[in-house]
Amino acid sequence: MIQSELVERITKEVVQSLTARNAGTVHAQTAGGRNILTAADLPPYIDHTLLRPEASGAQIDKLCDEAIKYKFCSVCVNGSWVAHCARRLSGTGVKVAAVVGFPLGAMLGRAKNLEARHAIEDGAREIDMVMNIGALKSGDLKLVEDDILWVVRACTSRALLKVILETALLTDQEKILACQIAKNAGADFVKTSTGFSTHGATVADVALMRRTVGPTMGVKAAGGVRNFADAVALIEAGATRLGTSSGVKIVMGSAAEGDY
């Protein structure tokens, strides 16, 4: 169990880091000799996402075609669309990411394992699973870890695993705990949000997650990433991947509306 002193220290360091960063600006143009992010730099960060239950085949095809055109990292879809997307994206370099236990995370770990295994068999190369949020909030940390381990076993050597924390529902201490558990279980990424809760990614949450997991583990910001400024701010805070349904407008430098 993490000690409260460590939680307080990590949170304080994140706040200090954000304060220092915000004393200037969080823009694409940076000081101190660092690289300048442009819209052309963003496609490799983007998981082009369509998770709405009413998504049609035509909309999924458009998602794939846009991902090919703009060279996004992946498309992120529900499991029933994985095989279709894998066929359409074959040979393009764009990966398929499938959500598992989505959007609630409250199903059994072995059910998530089965869902992940089928998605991988259908062509998914990344799995975005929702952790058991209720177990975390109940203090049942073993169940949280076991739940993740079920999906780790499905992904081993076959797919990258991202663990969705749903940060909107967690305290800072719970976010830190969740990050530590996911890292210890062998996940490749921690991810902020499903996009279906009260709010999505924030700069503060991404910074807290990055500080907790260290410099090498992936951090994915998802939910409410709607324009170029949002994307750059989250990357500056430590995100290495962005989940968004507004990828095209972001790389075109436009504001966008959307639910993810």
Burial 135-149 (b: 16+ CB within 10 A, else e): bbeeeebebbbebbb
Q: How far is CA 225 from CA 23, 72, 199, in A?
A: 22, 15, 11
Backbone φ and ψ of 213, nearest 5°? -85, -15
Residues in CB range of 124: below 8 A, 6 or more apart: 79, 82, 86, 96, 97, 98, 159
38 DSSP assignment: -
Residues in CB range of 23: below 8 A, 6 or more apart: none
Tokens in use for 152?
């780790």
242 DSSP assignment: E
Residues forming the active site: 128, 191, 220
